[in-house]
Structure 1
């Protein structure tokens, strides 16, 4: 955040007001939790029953696939991981129970590198895929989704992708060749395969499709719907608590230069280097409200993590926060000096100021027992995966906000940096 003159005057952005209101209604959760608990036991028994009978192993994989796509796999993580490991130990690469495409995709998703040679059985002597004809739309969809788990050099899956994509695209153009349910599934798959979808959004799309299938499992369907309602009620409860905390600081009036977007952030500096409340007296007025807010949040986080025996994890979050604040200070310096950085200079700072690296590290702190020091160390080094995500998000942010930012005093965006470099050349 740029430090202005001693009188605390800051350039305002005239952000629109928050559209969510001050309070979130909280639904009754006890009844939902009990229903979910009962349904979980039913489904857990069915998973074990199908796993214990070799003849049911193909149906078991269909069940696991449905559980994952319905967005309720987190209820059965241990059972699913153990079951897939047992399948791998029992069959290795010699799977012969049907549903080969689903078997291949689920095993590879779980980290078991099964061979793609099994798909040679789909071809005739001329190399044409026999089982995936236009009359077997589901089989073709399954094979299409499996191809997105391929590795470089697996030509048979490269060929399978071309084949299934061509056939599915043809069916999509002539919807009378598939019923309405599959037409929608084909269009969604061609636009974005399962591998590239967000699980929660996939659940929203898949629940109505699964419900229309004559073979759907009623307990599974009810668990998916009830679990979704329960998750929404938990989000509303958290947002209600956060909204009360946010309202107490009267952000819209006390911090008019900041985005009043608590709900969006929920889904989504110099003093910070010292990280001490003793800095409060030397801060300008506009920071005297923000700084204690941040320290209070981190103090509460530290207490929670200490009770879990993971107090050291807060240090990674603090360092990420300090790095985040330093990037803001650098941008403020550029803005105050009227300096337009080179694209490389801009990226070295803006990839941090976009906040996605900080948010990733902060989110790890809330993942409980599944997180060790290693993920924090990995994320802190700014590895290619994290950097690529920041580059994508920063580019989108700069493109969307470019025109609006030019109407007020603002640091040069990535768009301006590239334009200015072109002029200098």
Structure 2
């Protein structure tokens, strides 16, 4: 079901009503909450059963498919043709000169303690302008120096900004610094309300909280309530801060994709009198140059995509190539990760087909065969698959084979095998969902979690991205990546819950694997509103865990760790305001247009 899922549907000739959790008909055993309930024990149904089905005449069996109701692609062939910009060489020269100037400014400021507060503001601007990829080493050097010099005892201006930047970079600095914000009664000082910019910084810092950091929980509640009042105040005298507040209330920086923050922040930064002209020019030139690269990649992918002829061959599936490429760019924007973006786009769109086949088209018998084929992971399985499944299966096998061949000398054999196993486990989860639907079983909340978080997809998405990251993936990172890390699970849980909340109402209109919302409502006899509220709280708790995990791994390069963080941020964008902006692609139209069509004016 993954981040991109709708829910499992059984053809209308196999429809039934779900039984309450624990109420089973004879012969059905409910799924346990551990991994021992495996589809692999069901393999006896596979090849011989399919041969029996296909030998039946059309008079003997008539398969009724649910109608396809996904909207077509809104982009058609818009990105097939790529026209290279003639001035790219000149842009690269300008960018190189600007980078050098910014680097020198950073090093000079590092040697002057009185400039350290301003240095943090510069790093904040670099990150919000989405220029981190250009200054990865410098940012690491500066913040390591700041940490070594001050530890937890920062004595410069804006402690909230210091705290957020240090935590983002992996330094587990103490939240005790916010004790100075408290009055003698344990509440926040009233003077904070008058410092709106400081309150906004504290709001952003609070989202770096870990479990048990009560002062940050309180800080978030305090700042959010006051900022919401200011955002609604038409008479508030500072329009600049008001714009920032409204943007932050939509999505805080820790949960916001850097590429989307840049779209907001570049024009905003330009309006500030204190802006650094070199940084601003670098952000605009860099955006345009990388946009050209992304257009080239998208053209290459669009040509590959045309070979599938989705409207004709897979009319039941979501045609979302461009939206999927948005995923890849969002997760690994750095221009040197072109291979990762292309491979990730291919496997996600193909797994979307797999997902839609389990959710909205395949019969239960066909899905058993499909699962068996993925367990074998061999092109020879094409012979046992129904015709419409062959195109999907071969596409996925080819994509992995192509990646395997391209990285055969990089020492990533364990990683590619791991990515395949993660993918198989995801598909096993889809089959478990189909089994529940076919048997009419309503899982408990705990059983749903055991099945549903398999299909959150975090592990195979992250591992697939790692395959194309070249030498950015150290030996230590490869060893780390082949083990199912807790941070991968965090991504899966956030994805699954957000997907369920966004799709729950529409899924009620058809027979489907119940969402976590539905399971929670039935098990605890509560309203939909209350169930969603509790699940949103669960997501917030998982974000705290993700924050903690991102502080744990000192030997893993930051760009590698940020793949997981950016996947979680992507989920927040895909399901913003409890809407599925991937399935209903109009929700991403403006962002895609800004990223891949409209150049920045210099």
The TM-score range, normalised by the shorter chain, is 0.7 to 0.9
Tell me if 1:342 matches 2:439. Answer: no
Deviation digits for residues 221-262 of structure 1 (CA, Å, limit 9, x no counterpart): 122222223333333222211111111232221223322222
Map 1:289-304; keep pairs closer than 5 Å.
Answer: 289-304=391-406
| Cα distance change on mapping 1:376 and 1:401 into 2, 3 Å | farther
| Cα distance change on mapping 1:219 and 1:288 into 2, 3 Å | same
Give the whole-Å Cα distance in 1 for the aligned partners of 2:395 and 2:184: 70
| Cα distance change on mapping 1:412 and 1:310 into 2, 3 Å | closer
Instruction: Please tell me whether the aligned partners of residues 105 and 149 of structure 1 are also in contact (alpha carbons under 8 angstroms).
Output: yes
Cα offset, 1:27, TM superposition: 4.8
| Cα distance change on mapping 1:347 and 1:50 into 2, 3 Å | same
Give the whole-Å Cα distance in 1 for the aligned partners of 2:488 and 2:322: 29
1:197 paired residue number: 256
| Cα distance change on mapping 1:94 and 1:244 into 2, 3 Å | same
Cα offset, 1:216, TM superposition: 0.3
Give the whole-Å Cα distance in 2 for the aligned partners of 1:231 and 1:400: 39
Give the whole-Å Cα distance in 2 for the aligned partners of 1:55 and 1:96: 11
2:238 paired residue number: 179
1:279 paired residue number: 381
Q: TM-score, normalised by structure 1?
A: 0.84
Map 1:381-420; keep pairs closer than 5 Å.
Answer: 384-396=489-501, 398-399=503-504, 401-403=506-508, 406=510, 411-414=512-515
Instruction: Please tell me whether the aligned partners of residues 324 and 353 of structure 1 are also in contact (alpha carbons under 8 angstroms).
Output: yes
Tell me if 1:36 matches 2:95. Answer: yes
2:276 paired residue number: 217
Aligned residues: 417
Instruction: Please tell me whether the aligned partners of residues 109 and 116 of structure 2 are also in contact (alpha carbons under 8 angstroms).
Output: yes
Which of 255, 263, 277 is residue 322 of structure 2 equivalent to?
A: 263
Which of 223, 227, 231 is residue 168 of structure 1 equivalent to?
A: 227
Report SS of the residue matched to 2:235.
Answer: helix
Give the whole-Å Cα distance in 1 for the aligned partners of 2:487 and 2:177: 38
| Cα distance change on mapping 1:98 and 1:131 into 2, 3 Å | farther
Instruction: Please tell me whether the aligned partners of residues 26 and 237 of structure 1 are also in contact (alpha carbons under 8 angstroms).
Output: yes
Deviation digits for residues 22-48 of structure 1 (CA, Å, limit 9, x no counterpart): 341435353444443332222222211
Tell me if 1:319 matches 2:421. Answer: yes
Instruction: Please tell me whether the aligned partners of residues 206 and 220 of structure 2 are also in contact (alpha carbons under 8 angstroms).
Output: yes
Q: TM-score, normalised by structure 2?
A: 0.61
Deviation digits for residues 314-359 of structure 1 (CA, Å, limit 9, x no counterpart): 1011112222333334444555x45344245555434334544432
Report SS of the residue matched to 2:324.
Answer: helix
Cα offset, 1:164, TM superposition: 4.1
Tell me if 1:113 matches 2:172. Answer: yes
Give the whole-Å Cα distance in 2 for the aligned partners of 1:328 and 1:122: 49
Deviation digits for residues 288-334 of structure 1 (CA, Å, limit 9, x no counterpart): 32222111100111122223332321101111222233333444455
1:234 paired residue number: 293
Bigger Cα displacement from structure 2, 344-353 vs 260-269: 344-353
Give the whole-Å Cα distance in 1 for the aligned partners of 2:303 and 2:471: 29
Cα offset, 1:212, TM superposition: 1.1
Name the structure, 1 or 2, with higher relative contact order (CA <8 Å, separation 6+): 2
Tell me if 1:379 matches 2:435. Answer: no
Give the whole-Å Cα distance in 1 for the aligned partners of 2:226 and 2:513: 48
Tell me if 1:87 matches 2:141. Answer: no
Cα offset, 1:274, TM superposition: 1.7
1:78 paired residue number: 137
2:42 paired residue number: none
Tell me if 1:13 matches 2:72. Answer: no
Tell me if 1:252 matches 2:285. Answer: no
Cα offset, 1:150, TM superposition: 4.5
Cα offset, 1:118, TM superposition: 4.2
| Cα distance change on mapping 1:326 and 1:209 into 2, 3 Å | same
Bigger Cα displacement from structure 2, 210-219 vs 86-95: 86-95
Bigger Cα displacement from structure 2, 291-300 vs 33-42: 33-42
Instruction: Please tell me whether the aligned partners of residues 172 and 187 of structure 1 are also in contact (alpha carbons under 8 angstroms).
Output: yes
Cα offset, 1:117, TM superposition: 4.6
Gapped regions of structure 1 (runs ≥ 5): none
1:358 paired residue number: 460
Bigger Cα displacement from structure 2, 148-157 vs 187-196: 148-157
Give the whole-Å Cα distance in 1 for the aligned partners of 2:383 and 2:216: 64
Cα offset, 1:67, TM superposition: 0.7
Report SS of the residue matched to 1:98.
Answer: coil
Report SS of the residue matched to 1:38.
Answer: helix
Give the whole-Å Cα distance in 2 for the aligned partners of 1:131 and 1:235: 47
| Cα distance change on mapping 1:16 and 1:299 into 2, 3 Å | same
| Cα distance change on mapping 1:390 and 1:48 into 2, 3 Å | same
